[in-house]
Amino acid sequence: MMRMKNDKRTYLEYPFVGVGVVVWKAEKFLLIRRGKPPRIGQWSIPGGRQELGETVKEAALREIREETSLSIKITDFLGVIDSIQKDKDGHIKFHATLVDYSAEWISGNALAGSDAMDVAWYEIDDLQTLNLWSETTRIIEKSAKLRHTRQIKT
C-alpha cells in the first residue's frame, strides 16, 4: 500500500533524532504550543530535529533560540525517549528518538518562533492541570528534582 508523505517527519524508513529542553527561569519552566505534527496544538517542552553535522547539545541550543528567542545554559541530561506513532493500518507513521536536557534561562524574552503557536511560563504546581503527554510530564518532574538537588548543594 502506498502511503502519502505529507512532510519530512512521517513514514520514514528510520527514526530521526530530536531534542527537547526543559528551560527554567526562576521557579518557572517554559512550554510551547506545538505548531507542527505530531501533537500539533498541544503544549510541550521546546525543541526540534537535530541537523546533520550538529551535536545534540548544539541542536538543543539552536532549537531553543529558533523556537523561543531565548539564550540558555544546559545544566543536565534528562534522558532519551522514543516517540512512536502508528497509523490506523498499524504502519509506523512517526518515530523520533528524543534526547532531553534541562537548562537555565540566560537572556531574551520568550517569543513563539515558526514551529510554535504560543509560549508560556508555568510553575511546577501547574503541571498536573496542563494535560501534557505523560513523558513530557515525567521529564519536567525529573528536571525539577535535579534542579532542586543542585540548588541545595550550592
pLDDT digits (tens, 9 = 90+) for 12-49: 899 999 999 999 999 999 999 988 877 888 999 999 99
| Mean pLDDT, range 47-64, rounded to an integer | 96
The full set of domains in the chain, from first to last, is 16-153 (3.90.79.10)
**Percent of the chain surpassing pLDDT 90:** 80
Look at 9-18, 95-104, 121-130 and tell me which has the smallest mean pLDDT. Answer: 9-18
Q: Is the pLDDT of residue 84 over 90?
A: yes
The DSSP annotation for 65-91 comes to HHHH--EEEEEEEEEEEEEEEE-TTS-
Q: What is the pLDDT of residue 114?
A: 80
Burial of 14 (0-12, 13-18, 19+ CB in 10 A): exposed
How far is Cα 111 from Cα 10, in angstroms, rounded to an integer? 27
State the chain's mean pLDDT as an integer.
91
How far is Cα 79 from Cα 102, in angstroms, rounded to an integer? 10
| Mean pLDDT, range 111-125, rounded to an integer | 93
- Grade residue 95 by pLDDT with cuts at 50, 70 and 90: very high
Q: What is the pLDDT of residue 40?
A: 86
125-146 pLDDT tens trace: 999 999 999 999 999 999 999 9
Q: Based on C-alpha coordinates, what's the Rg of the chain? A: 16
Q: Other CB atoms closer than 10 Å to residue 91's CB: what's the count?
A: 11
Look at 1-10, 33-42, 76-85, 130-139 and tell me which has the smallest mean pLDDT. Answer: 1-10
Structure-block grid coordinates of residue 88: 490506523
